[in-house]
A and B are shown apart, each in its own frame.
Chain A
């Protein structure tokens, strides 16, 4: 049974460019969340989507946006990249949007901004 899959695994971009990261949740999971993990820190919440609607947003600038598709896959977009956007971007899926269902993380996309 496939877990949460993220693509690409690694990415190098130049300051000012735009990037799109992709996530496919576990089959049957309707909720997808995005987290940013800077080296040496814990993951920080960016967005949650459930049934194609935004259910939560963390403290990130408007350069960050996301969407969820009818098949529950999701994309995270970051515009006007800054050096500080370099991080591991993690996607987590769950059955529903609440606590009682575990959050399963993918292996992440390592974004390097130069």
Chain B
């Protein structure tokens, strides 16, 4: 069965204090690993899709990396506006190309 575990559950950073969020996954054949950002009361906002181990993608202060067992979302010099819940999701061969399997998210708070 597909499984996604995100850690930590919550993270408080000072503005400018870089850190990483972890997403460990178990899936029978990875089609893609997705990172989303979600603000309170809003829908998830797409950040990245990673397809194979060794792949990296960057967007502003965010960088996502992928290995065969986990993905990291690195946040460099975060700002208060980066405060949100970050969700990781996988799409596996067994579940078909039809749905994303989400973790429970990491709630990030960046303090000015």
Contact = CB atoms under 8 A, between A and B. Distances in A.
Nearest to B97: A98
Given A99-B31, A99-B91, A102-B49, A90 B101 contact: no
A107 interface: yes
B100 A103 contact: yes
A32 B112 CA distance: 39
Contacts of A108: 41-43
Contacts of A99: 31-32, 49, 51, 91, 97
B34 A56 contact: no
Nearest to B92: A99
B54 interface: no
A44 B95 CA distance: 13
Interface residues of A, number: 28
Given A90-B43, A105-B45, A110-B41, 19 more contacts: A33-B98, A42-B4, A42-B104, A42-B105, A43-B44, A43-B89, A45-B98, A45-B100, A55-B98, A56-B96, A92-B43, A98-B97, A102-B49, A103-B100, A104-B46, A105-B36, A105-B44, A105-B46, A108-B42
28 contacts: A4-B43, A33-B99, A41-B104, A42-B87, A42-B89, A42-B104, A43-B87, A43-B100, A48-B98, A48-B99, A55-B98, A56-B95, A90-B43, A90-B44, A97-B98, A99-B51, A102-B46, A103-B34, A103-B46, A103-B100, A104-B46, A105-B44, A105-B45, A105-B46, A107-B41, A107-B42, A108-B42, A110-B41
